[in-house]
Structure 1
Amino acid sequence: MIDVQELSVSFGNGASARQVVKNVSFSVAKGETLGIVGESGCGKSTVLRSLAGLDRHWNGRINLAGTDVDKVRTRDQMLLTQMVFQDPYGSLHPRHRISRVLTEPIRAMGLGKGWDKVDAALQQVGLPVSFADRFPHQLSGGQRQRVAIARALMLQPQIILLDEPTSALDVSVQAEVLNLLADLKDERQLTYVLVSHDLGVIAHMCDRVLVMKGGVFVDALSREDLYEGRTHNDYSRMLFEASAL
C-alpha cells in the first residue's frame, strides 16, 4: 500500500540548508500498521507530512496504493490518504460547528455538500448525532479527537496517517481512542502509519516499528520484538529502558 524509496527532506537553502530526513526507504502492506518512533526532532513527523502531501520539500519516490504521487498532488492522489493530528484542540476550527468540520473535506474536494453523511460519521466514532450542532469547545479532548478521526474518514481514504493521536489526551481517554482506531482499521481494511514517542501506544497498535534517530532509521522491530523487549541497536535499547522507567 505504501512504498517509499530514498526519501529525503531538507529545509532552507545553501549553507543554511538542514536535512531532516536522510534517504530513508520503507514499505507498508495493505491492512498493516507501521509505527515510527523516536525522540522529538528526529524527523518522524516530517516523514508523515511528506506522505500526506502537506510537505513539498521532499525528494525521492513515494508510491501510494500503486500510484507514484507528485509533490503537488492531484485530487485523486489526495483522496488516497488522510491525517489525524496530535492536538484535537488546534486541529478543529473553533468557530465551525461539528457538522461543518466534518463536511469540509467533501466540499473541498468538490464531491458535494456532505450534510447527509454527518450523522453516520458521528455514529461510527461513538458520538451522538446531536453533537453535529455543537462547537469544538463544547466537547472534551477525547470527543474532539473522535471528531478528527471521523473527519479523516469522510473521503474514504485507504491510508490513515496518525501523528501522536493520543499524546494530548488524558491517560484514561487514550485507550478508548486507540481501541476505536483499531476497530475502524479492521472494519474498513485501512492501512495506518503511526508516529509516536510512546512505546506503550506503539506496542498496542503496531505490527512493525521503525526506530528513527537523526533523520534515519536505525532499527526495525517486529511485534514479537516489542513484546519481548528485544532490540538490535543501542539507541533502541535506550528508548525501551527509558520507557520502562
Structure 2
Amino acid sequence: MIDVQDLSVSFGSGASAKQVVKGVSFSVTKGETLGIVGESGCGKSTVLRSLAGLDRHWTGKVSLSGTEVDKVRTREQMLLTQMVFQDPYGSIHPRHRISRILAEPIRAMDRGKGWDMVAPALEQVGLPTAFADRFPHQLSGGQRQRVAIARALMLEPEIILLDEPTSALDVSVQAEVLNLLADLKEARNLTYVLVSHDLSVIAHMCDRVLVMKAGVFVDELTKDDLYQGRTHHDYSRMLFEASAL
C-alpha cells in the first residue's frame, strides 16, 4: 500500500538549510499498522505530512496504493490517504457545526452535498446522530477526536495517517479512541501509519515499528520484539527503559 524510497525533507535554503528527514525508505503492506516512534523533533511527523501531501519540501519517491504520487497531488491522489491530527481542538473548525465539518470533504471533492452521509459517519464512530447539530466546543476532547476520525473516513481512503492521535486526550479516553481505530481498521481493511512517542500506544496498535532518531530510522521492531522488550539499537533500548513497557 505504501512504498517510500530515499525520502528526504529539508527546510530553508543555502547555509541555513536544515535536513530533518535524511533519505529514509520503508514500505507498508495492505492492512498493516506501521508505527514510527522517536523523540520530539526527530522527523516522524514530517514523514507523515509528506505522505499526506501537506508538505512539499520532500525529494525521493512515494507510491500509495500502487500509484506514484507527486509533490502537488491530483484529486485522485488526494483520495488515497487521509490524516487524523494530534490536536482535536485545533484540527476542527470551531465555528462550524459537526454536520458541516463531516460533509466538507465530500463537497470539497465534488462528490455531492454530503449531508446524507453525516448520520452514518457519526454512528460508525460511536457518537449520537444528534451531535450533527452541535459545535465542537460542546463536545469533549475524546468526542472531538471521534469526529476527526469520522471526517478522515468520509472519502473512504485506503490509508489513514495518525499523528499522535491520543496524546492530547485524557488517559481515561485514550484507550477508547485506540480501540475504535482498531475496530475501524478491521471492519474496513485499512492501512495505518501511526506516529507516536508513547511506546504503550505503539505496542497496542502496531504490527511493526520503525524507531527514528535525528531524521533516520535506526531500528525496526516486530510486535513480538515490543512485548519481549527486545531491541537492536542502543537508542531503542533507551526509549524502552524510559517508558512504562
Deviation at 1:111, TM superposition (A): 1.0
Aligned position for 1:53: 53
Paired residue type of 1:12: G
1:125 and 2:125 matched: yes
Aligned position for 2:145: 145
Aligned partners of 1:41, 1:195: CA distance in 2, in Å?
A: 12
Pairing 1:49-198 to 2, within 5 Å after superposition: 49-198=49-198
Deviation at 1:244, TM superposition (A): 2.8
Aligned partners of 1:97, 1:143: CA distance in 2, in Å?
A: 14
Aligned position for 1:226: 226
Deviation string, structure 1 residues 193-220 (Cα, Å, up to 9, x no partner)? 0000000000000000000000000000
Deviation at 1:110, TM superposition (A): 1.1
TM-score normalised over the length of structure 1: 0.99
Deviation string, structure 1 residues 78-115 (Cα, Å, up to 9, x no partner)? 00000000000000000000000001111111111100
Deviation at 1:148, TM superposition (A): 0.1
Deviation string, structure 1 residues 149-175 (Cα, Å, up to 9, x no partner)? 000000000000000000000001000
Structure 2: 5+ residue runs without aligned partners?
A: none
Residues 200 and 244 in structure 2, CA contact (< 8 A), matched pair in contact too? no
Aligned position for 1:32: 32
Paired residue type of 1:239: L
Aligned residues: 245
Aligned partners of 1:8, 1:208: CA distance in 2, in Å?
A: 22
Q: 4+ runs of 1 displaced by more than 3 Å?
A: none
RMSD: 0.6
Aligned partners of 1:124, 1:83: CA distance in 2, in Å?
A: 17
3-state SS of the aligned residue for 1:185? helix
Sequence identity percentage: 85
Residues 31 and 185 in structure 2, CA contact (< 8 A), matched pair in contact too? yes
Structure 1: 5+ residue runs without aligned partners?
A: none
1:3 and 2:3 matched: yes
3-state SS of the aligned residue for 2:243? helix
